[in-house]
Amino acid sequence: MTRGDVHARILQTGVVPAIRTVSAEDALFAAGAVFEGGIHVIELTMTVPGAHEVLVELRRTHPKLMVGAGTVLDAGTAAKCVDAGAAFLSSPGLEPSVLAFAAENNVAVIPGALTPSEVMMAMKAGADFIKVFPCSAVGGPGYIRALKAPFPNAPLMASGGVNQVTARDYLSAGALVLGIRGELIPHQAIERRNAEWIHELAGRFMNIVKQSRAQRED
């Protein structure tokens, strides 16, 4: 899968669930439930114990699931993630070494950014998407809208506090993609191994994206 293919898949899906769990077993369950719920893109954070092994296992058991590596903080970790099969790299902040590694190896990258200066730097570095994180803490949809004024072509991903109530507003404000964690993959659903709960939430968020885009086209 090329970098362009990865970019297109993320854009088409419109939702990137972030998996941050306390065990590898929990991460495998959550990823499988998200996939079965109809979302075929996930971000597996490197804070998951044995994250690289989980990534390899997901590539083996779910070949149609596009797995990216999240919380990538340096180029060394980025290289290990790509070797394990990561389709894209994501960070909570703007780390030049990760951006440089992605550019040199033609890997899709989603850096975190919060200030206008960081958004500008991410755009100049050729980021595929720019994760505005933590979005809800700095104004939510209104902040996305404010960033889109000077940066109308910035490929923004709203992340941090996105839920069923605010998702549509983030998209209307100009976010192309939503980064969602607990609101799509509840901790209790993982503990109880309740895949149906995650399936239901996945469907709801995908419907929000679909309806929002349909309204925009009208």
* pLDDT at position 198 over 80: yes
DSSP β-ladder status, 108-110 and 88-90: parallel
Report the percent of the chain where pLDDT is more than 90: 95
The domains of the chain, with CATH numbers, are: 3-211 (3.20.20.70)
Name the β-bridge partners of 43.
Answer: 18, 68
- 166 φ, ψ (degrees, to nearest 5): -100, -15
Rounded to whole angstroms, the Cα distance separating 101 from 31 reads 26
* pLDDT at position 218 over 70: no
The token duo for 31 is 């990823």
Give the confidence band of 1 by pLDDT, cuts at 50, 70, 90: confident
| 3-52 residue pLDDT tens | 999 999 999 999 999 999 999 999 999 999 999 999 999 999 999 999 99
* pLDDT at position 216 over 80: no
Q: Listing from the earlier edge strand, what are the strands of the sheet with 130-132?
A: 108-110, 88-90, 66-70, 41-45, 15-19, 177-180, 156-159, 130-132, 112-113
